[in-house]
Structure 1
Amino acid sequence: MTVIEAEAEAGRRRTASDREGHPSEQWGSSGLFSQTAALTGRSIRPYLQVGVLVVTFVEPLVMLLMFAGVLKVLGDAPGMPTDMAYIDNLAPAIMIITAVAAGAQAGNGLINDLRNDVITRFHTLPINRFSVLLARSFADGARALYQLIAVAVLAALFFGFAPPGGFLGVVGTVLMSLLVGWSMSWIFIMMAAVLRNGDVLRMITTLMTFPLLFASNAFVPPESMPTWLRVIAQANPISYANDATRSMVAGQITLAELLATVVACLALVCVCAPISKRSFRVM
């Protein structure tokens, strides 16, 4: 090999080495799964700060103290189940509320990334842009899982939460609540991708979540409500989610009820995710 050929070969090796170490090449050679995993880890890191972990843990405790303590008298309201304690009937509903509230933050997280020019930097990398949206939903899902476990543990320790379905019923309720919250998060991700305005998104989020969560059968049966509110509660999809999780903790969940919940959640994602991806592409 001549000197010129040796120098040319060394140059090719240096170029290949530089290319392997270049971030854009690393992203470009990875797939959707690895990109989503890396971006999910990035989105989760802010939630692992001690202060955030404490506040995230305290939120379910405050909800339990308010609803299980203050509203305990509602356990004697007409139409309430008599075969389960009020906390066994309430805890699944609080899990649904917690999961949906955590999912609603996914849109705000996407807006914050947009404001901080993080999204602009992502657009300069050869990555699948849908991985950014998936990571956002999974990160807030992880936060919701932490809170759901806190709800179950705190309800058992301080309020005697011991449902007939036992441990498996509680695990199933946590997973079902997580699925409901994750699917709902795509509504807010879609709105964030379309609106790109944090103030407007927060107002819409409040207007959506309060009626969904509280105009439902979460705290009292619809039969005890005024007629107009009963109609809303019976049509509210959160009421059906509450019924499914209550059946789960009672150990009486049917295959049809389980499949209906899973299919409804996946259908919601199938509608919202493509719209989110299309809108996010033109950001």
Structure 2
Amino acid sequence: MTVAEAEARPRRTPPRRDAATSQWGTSGLFTQTVALTGRSLRPYMNAGVIIVTFVEPLVMLLMFAGVLKVLGEAPGMSKEMAYIDGLAPAIMIITAVAAGAQAGNGLINDLRNEVITRFHTLPINRFSVLLARSFADAARSLYQLISVAVLAALIFGFAPPGGILGVLGAILMSLLVGWSMSWIFIMMAALLRNGDVLRMITTLLTFPLLFASNAFVPPESMPTGLRVIAQGNPISYANDAVRSMVAGNVTVTELATTVAVCLALVCVCAPISKRSFRVL
């Protein structure tokens, strides 16, 4: 090849990478998860959403603590602690699980808006998208859990024997339960990819889990069939652990069992979610 031929041959230019692509390509899982969590949290920063998010636990407190206060006299109810002191932890669990259920709907919305398609074109760890979805709804749940504790104290005189440390422990435990439950709905969203079907399954799953438990009355006061369900319901064990927190008499066994079940749930659902999300 002569010098003239070499100069005449067009030179290949490497493909250009825009700044966003380069930035994502050099970041790690932690950085990507933080960035995507912030993105998922932005819709929750709307003033209307903040107000509605605050009103939800207020409505539950007014409804359950006001209407069901008479249940404090039901057989088997503890006489050592006021009914609101046992009800507020249960509402924390209900609030956290309900917020976790929204994680699947959030992922479905991203799929519907083709946001996930854009993510698939970026050099990012796709698992960070799922992690961010779960953390964003957990952050929203944290705001609601704090609201439950404050409103219960201001309106209904929530003053558990465990004090502020017990309440903080109850909030953290409820947050862990809700975050682990969110992976069930993220997994179903990645598998089903249908918002209508997911919403029906969410209702069918959460309603018996939350209400066929010891949240409002002890299982001993229930009919035999419902008592068996409540005693085997994992939410009942979560309620017991959180109530023990606010009562200031939680045991290591209760803590270890609740944390172990939550982590086991994540270890089962997260890999399935990751695998299903990879083939979208």
TM-score (norm 2): 0.94
The match for 1:136 is 133
Distance in 2 separating the partners of 1:235 and 1:168: 29
Match of 2:189 in 1: 192
Answer yes or no: is 1:165 the counterpart of 2:172: no
User: Aligned to 2:36, which of 36, 39, 44?
Assistant: 39
Among 251, 258, 269, the residue aligned to 1:272 = 269
Please name the residue that 2:260 is paired with: 263
Q: Which runs of 5+ in 2 are unaligned?
A: 1-13
Partner residue of 1:155 out of 152, 155, 163: 152
Q: Deviations over 1:149-182 (max 9, x none)?
A: 0000000000000000000000000000000000
Counterpart mapping for 1:173-252 below 5 A: 173-252=170-249
AA aligned opposite 1:218 = A
Question: Residue in 2 aligned with 1:12?
Answer: none
TM-score normalised by the chain length of structure 1: 0.93
Indicate the residue corresponding to 1:91 in structure 2. 88
For residues 233 and 47 of structure 1, what CA distance do their matches in structure 2 show? 34
The residue aligned with 2:78 is: 81
1:105 aligns to what? 102
Partner amino acid, structure 2, of 1:209: T
Which AA in structure 1 matches 2:107? L
| Residue aligning to 1:3 | none
Residue 136 of structure 2 corresponds to residue 127 of structure 1: no
Instruction: Look up the match of 1:26.
Output: 23
Trace 1:10-25 onto structure 2 (pairs within 5 A).
22-25=19-22
Q: Aligned-pair distance for 1:34?
A: 0.2
- Distance in 2, Cα, partners of 1:43 & 1:166: 34
Mapped to 1, the partners of 2:121 and 2:22 lie a distance apart of: 12
CA separation in 2, counterparts of 1:187 and 1:120?
A: 22
Q: Which amino acid aligns with 1:240?
A: Y
Segments of structure 1 that go 5 or more residues without pairing to the other structure are 1-14
Q: Distance in 2 between matches of 1:48 and 1:216?
A: 33
